[in-house]
Chains A and B, each alone.
Chain A
Amino acid sequence: MIKRYIAGAACALGLVAGAAQAQSDGPYKVYLSMSYIGNDWQAEASNMVKALAASKDYADKVDLEVQVAGPNAQRQIQQINAMVQAGADAIVVYPISPTALNSVVKSACSRGVTVIAYDAEITEPCAYNVTIDQEEAGRKTAEWLVDKMGGKGDVVMVTGVPGTSVDTARTKAAKEVFAQHDGINIVGEAVGMWSQAVARTELNKLMATRDWSDINGLWMQVGCYTADSMQLEAGRDPSELLPCAGEGSNGGRIQMLPADTAVEGASKPYAPMGAPRISYASPPYSGALALKLAVDKLEGQDIPKHTTLPLPLVTNETVQLCETGSWDEQKAGCNVFQPSMVSNPGWFASIFSEDLPQLGLNAALVGQPEN
């Protein structure tokens, strides 16, 4: 607290310093600036942040307000500025652009506001970042695929949103791995925009002039669940499914379970079929972790400038079904949820964090904390 007051005064704006003092006894005013709320990942991330703020440990400490900027970086710049004006103590932000926010973040910092970005990065040095190593994600999944294909064969890639750092880093790393193996050819590359629906349209275009048997492996950022569904629709047997390196959706992980696994609420293609797969994801709990770090910082602790989250990788060997989805059960190692509880196959299953015992399945589904 005292540190923050000094920081506020140091920036030579008497106004802000006075404001910081006036607010020091109440709960911390924390704002969440999201980019877009129309997809599963963002909705889960937002639910988990809200759940953490509502949990017993944080309910008295944090006064959380959520704003959405849509895909417009200009608007996020305005929003962050408006949040600073409204007296924010900390701003947790899903940055639309890693660079466009730099100057507004700098000015927020100079007014004593803690800014923490999750999932994507802000390059301004005064901001804190919580991300996974995207390059590692691209590399490890590509290595797994090469290994599964025995080092040779034709690969189809479905990438993310062109022009973003996350997509560029993942795709570049994966291509570097493929380039090291002479036997591996990239025969098609589609832009999947991180959406199962777009992945289906694009795969349809790719497969218009090919047969599934012409391909040996799939590397995707989002779309393995869709690709497997399409192979089944095309009349292929579940045992012939192509190895796919792809997203951490619950539907995809259910498909990875051995075909004879008993699950509740399964219906094809959202059913166990022993699909060969490595599942990776940017975990949606990163927003909640950013909130936790923000509060730690406001309470005077030191937090690292860059928190790299462990990359949640699940393969057919490590996939394990949860019964209830509580935090304790996930800590014991389960990583996929019953279709009866998670009705949406596109829903992201990588929600477990060692540091956030407040958040179980219900936090991600409906924003309800464990305690």
Chain B
Amino acid sequence: MSDQSLSSGATPRRKSSNWLRSLRHGQAVIVAALVLAGLMALNAGLSPYPLSYFDISFLASGGATSAIAAAGQTLVILSGGFDLSAGAVVSLVNAVLATSMDPANMQASVPLWTAIGIGIGMAVGAVNGFFVAVVRLQPIVVTLAVMFIVQGLTLLVMAMPGGFVAPSLASVYLGDTIPGLLPAPITLMLVLVALWLWLKRTGYGITLYAVGSDAEAARATGLHARTVTFATYVLAGGLYGLAGVFVSAQTGSGDPLVGNSLLLPTFAAVVIGGTRLGGGKGGVLGTILGAYILMIVVNLLLSLNVSAYYSTIAESAVLLIAVLAGSLRRDSTLSQRLREVTDAIGARRRGWLVGQRSGEDHRLAFTRPAETAPAQTFLQRHGHTLRHVLPAWICLVVVLIATQLVLGNVFSGWRYWDSLLVLSSFLAILALGQGAVILTGGLDLSLPWSIALSGVMLTGLVGGQDMGLLTALPVVFAVAALIGLANGLGVVALGLSPIVVTLAMNGILQGAALIWSGGTPAGFAPPSLRWLMTGKLMGVTPVIIFMAAFVALAIVLLGRTAFGRRVYAVGNSELAARLSGVRTGRVIISVYILSALCAALVGVLLAGFSGQASLGMGDDYLLPSIAVVVVGGALITGGRGHYAGMLGGALLLTAMQTLLAGTALPFAFRSVFFGLVILMAVIALRK
């Protein structure tokens, strides 16, 4: 932030270019609008028929649900938060409307049901807001837990698709405001934008931006930061509710799973629209444009007849290009990095680089460390770590005792422990990679398809033979290292948000896995790998011994090495770390490489566990990998956390799932319980 204002202050044309500045301010929105217009024109040009009013109306309604939901997500992200419950709320509202509307009443009141939908969304938002703003828990965990709870509730309301939504809803939301000229969905978007432009100028809006830019400073200035954060989640919930009402109108019925796949696209829409993840910059207008860009890309791929295998790659490319174009300017990270590189080359030529000087120690006498350090008690040294690590382990013990009481056979034999340790090994490995990334303040969303691609490549390459491992493993891990390198370079060199880079990477890897496997992964895991995961060595599954070594190495790597200390330093303050001589870029790139390598290891082990690889094998591990790290006591914004806690988190989640799987509870209740336990674990973590 500070160097930005410095460089703009250095330009002499500062006063005269007020309009230029506001243009720059809206650069992302303008780029998004231009991209959308370009794509629309391209789409119209490719279609054999001219674009009719009907087509425009349909396009407008097609993107509306995700646009409304993404608008809600925008508010939360502006406040510096993150809302994973968006899709689940859309499903819940759809399910409630479809089950409670009277099929005999074709003319159900639109305002009433809209209010009910928005009200449900706001109620969920209030729960989120309470835990984030009042209890002060980390948004990502709160909304993750609420997501599980809401998904469970939705299945309780409606076990399977069906139900009835009165056509009066559709005629209002999908009809025409001015027949032949203005379709209703466009009016709805215009109303949303108008409301947003008004809201932005109110006290609430100003505080929202202030909180998102710097929550501490906002509070210190006397702004009602907490009230605004709470209100933001409630408002966002209301918008998800409205999206649920819209989808109900659009489909005329209910489906308990309809909104779940909306979650990741809402982030993409927010980011394409120029809102900064982390808060403080952006707006709803850009997001709505972003949602429609994503939608028109789908139509475009169809018109161009792009093979389905390439569609996720194309979408990721659009995401990256839109974000890069929206942020391109003289002081953007990319141009800064390019300047740095040219400077460094020039300095090297003149022999000015620090590394080119002689290695003599020029330290002054008083900087020499003291001969004797004061002895610290164990608690003084580790108390801080313990306070964040212990809650996960305590919760684990509680779950174990509960399991013994409900199902038995926990403390009487090895079988339970063997199963628990084997099943938790995947999450424990992912926790190291995801944990290291989170410690630096990033997030790796490319795990699912890194896992799947690695597993699919491994089984494809080994040909079912043990000897094949010798060539296949190096290839798999080399590819993973390249994936991590690309992620890291995207974050460091292009200056993009980690979420954008890794989300796009996930799409690219998905395409790569599909192309590589042709849709069905071939081959098997070799016998030795299967033995590792399912065999027995003196009654113990061999992977448990491997995990013991892995855990020891992980604790040493993060806690006892220079690399580990640099990771924490970067997470606490990247600027401070850089000024202290840490090569922050290299550290950040390394954690993404570490994360990709961990994902590859999980892909390999999962292939051994199942005997073969499947394309969806990584899907169930993304959100748990984040949950494990946070439940284990790490701060999602980086700088705090210990691997021992994350390990406890992995065991806790797996033990919890084992307990729920063993009971005869319906899936809906299990989901609710799972969410409640995550919430409880993080409440226990609170200071």
Contact = CB atoms under 8 A, between A and B. Distances in A.
Interface of A: 13, 15, 19, 34, 37-40, 42-44, 46, 65-68, 70-75, 77-79, 81-83, 85-87, 97-103, 107, 123, 159, 161-165, 167-169, 186-191, 195-198, 200-202, 204-211, 226, 229-230, 233, 267, 269, 343-347
B520 A43 contact: yes
B519 A103 contact: no
A101 B174 CA distance: 15
A81 B612 CA distance: 37
A267 B526 CA distance: 12
Nearest to B464: A267
A162 B252 CA distance: 21
6 contacts: A75-B298, A81-B299, A98-B162, A196-B612, A230-B534, A269-B611
Contact of B258 (A85, A97, A165): A97
Contacts of B155: 162-163
A40 B520 contact: yes
A100 B52 contact: no
A196 B607 CA distance: 12
B114 interface: no
Contact of B661 (A71, A102, A188, A269): A188
A209 B253 contact: no
A207 B611 contact: no
A210 B661 CA distance: 12
The 3 A-B pairs at the shortest CB distance, nearest first, are namely A38-B615, A99-B253, A68-B308
A67 B254 contact: no
B49 interface: yes
A165 B161 contact: yes
B661 A99 contact: no
A186 B305 CA distance: 49
Given A79-B298, A100-B253, A233 B534 contact: yes
Contacts of A77: 62, 250
Interface string B388-416: 00000000000000010001111000011
Contacts of A79: 298, 302
Contacts of B332: none
A161 B616 CA distance: 14
A82 B303 contact: yes
Contact of A99 (B59, B65, B161, B262): B161
Contacts of B160: 163-165, 167-169
Nearest to B159: A168
Given A43-B519, A97-B161, A98-B161, A346 B298 contact: no
A123 B161 CA distance: 10
A299 B520 CA distance: 34
Contacts of A233: 534-535
A134 to B, nearest CB: 11
Contact of B423 (A75, A81, A205): A205
Interface in B251-292: 251-258, 260-262, 265
A229 B48 contact: no
Nearest to A187: B664
Contacts of A167: 160
Contact of A102 (B253, B256, B258): B253
Contact of B251 (A40, A43, A100, A229): A100
A71 B261 contact: yes
Contacts of A210: 409, 662
B658 interface: yes
Given A208-B415, A208-B420, A74 B262 contact: yes
B546 interface: no
Interface residues of B, number: 87
A34 B308 contact: yes
Among A44, A99, A230, find the residue whose CB has the most chain B CB atoms closer than 10 A. A99
Interface in B144-189: 154-155, 158-163, 170, 174
A282 B522 CA distance: 22
Contact of A15 (B52, B514, B522, B614): B52
Contacts of A98: 161-162, 255
A197 B58 contact: no
Contact of B408 (A13, A86, A165, A209): A209
Contacts of B495: none
Given A75-B298, A205-B423, A86 B257 contact: no
Given A34-B308, A99-B161, A209-B410, A186 B610 contact: no
Contacts of B352: none
Contacts of B333: none
A210 to B, nearest CB: 7
Given A99-B251, A99-B253, A165-B161, A68 B311 contact: yes
B35 to A, nearest CB: 18
A189 B664 CA distance: 6
A169 B160 CA distance: 9
A98 B255 CA distance: 8
A97 B610 CA distance: 29
B423 A204 contact: yes
Given A66-B308, A162-B159, 11 more contacts: A74-B66, A74-B262, A79-B302, A81-B299, A98-B255, A100-B250, A189-B666, A200-B610, A202-B661, A205-B658, A209-B415
A44 B519 CA distance: 9
B619 to A, nearest CB: 9
B609 to A, nearest CB: 7
Contact of B55 (A68, A85, A197): A85
A45 to B, nearest CB: 11
Nearest to A41: B520
Contacts of B667: 159, 162, 191
Interface string B588-612: 0000000000000000001001111
B657 interface: yes
B618 to A, nearest CB: 10
Contacts of B664: 186-189
B572 interface: no
A307 B514 CA distance: 32
Nearest to B253: A99
A83 B534 CA distance: 47
Interface string B521-535: 111100000000011
Interface in B45-78: 47-50, 52, 54-55, 58-59, 62-63, 65-66
Contacts of A202: 661
B303 A86 contact: yes
Contacts of A74: 62, 65-66, 247, 258, 261-262
Most buried by A among B163, B254, B302, B668: B302
